[in-house]
Amino acid sequence: MKKVYIMAMFASSLLSAGSLSSEEITNMISKIKEERAGIAISKLENTENPFIIVKKEKAVKVAEKKVIEAVRKEIDYQLHAILNHAAFINGKWYKKGSKLGNYRITYIGKKSVDLTSKEGAKTLSIKKRKKQFIKLNKGNK
């Protein structure tokens, strides 16, 4: 019974939709063709942008500041000499196992020192100095 009732309603909706006269169709088309008054261009140009623009600059700046602070806190360790299993770093002598800032000295070799920490590892090596020769001018003795 329900199926028959649904089919009857569907058929009647199809028949009622097709019962537009040609005059009604012509009237609808003429209303569509009529020129409509819109908004003036000057008013349209002065309206605010309806789209929301999310700026993420602040979050980036905060992250950049943290990175810059971390870089500033990082000390530049320079190995100047190694003698009797001790390393002369930034003006002080250190032995294996000594703590140097956030790092711990894990190895002292002949020309390098290994530092390790939670952040990572570093290897310091003795830099070769350029030979500086004294040049004497011939002439005045």
In DSSP terms, 113 is beta-bridged to 108, 124
Instruction: State both tokens at 130.
Output: 């350029």
Given this model, what pLDDT does residue 66 score?
Answer: 66
The answer, yes or no, to whether residue 96 has pLDDT greater than 90, is yes
Rounded Cα distance between 92 and 94, Å, is 7
| H/E segment holding residue 61 | helix 57-73
Domain extents in the chain: 76-125
Instruction: State both tokens at 121.
Output: 């590892």
The answer, yes or no, to whether residue 17 has pLDDT greater than 80, is no
| 20-68 tens-digit pLDDT | 788 888 888 888 888 877 788 888 788 887 777 776 655 556 666 666 6
Rounded Cα distance between 98 and 88, Å, is 12
| 98-128 tens-digit pLDDT | 998 889 999 999 999 999 988 889 999 987 7
Rounded Cα distance between 121 and 113, Å, is 11
Given this model, what pLDDT does residue 93 score?
Answer: 94
Q: Of the candidates 88, 98, 83, 85, which has an alpha carbon nearest to the alpha carbon of residue 124?
A: 88
Q: How far is CA 99 from CA 94, 102, 109, in A?
A: 8, 7, 17
Given this model, what pLDDT does residue 63 score?
Answer: 65
The answer, yes or no, to whether residue 72 has pLDDT greater than 60, is no
Q: Where are the beta strands (DSSP E) in the chain?
A: 79-83, 86-89, 92-95, 99-100, 103-108, 112-116, 121-125
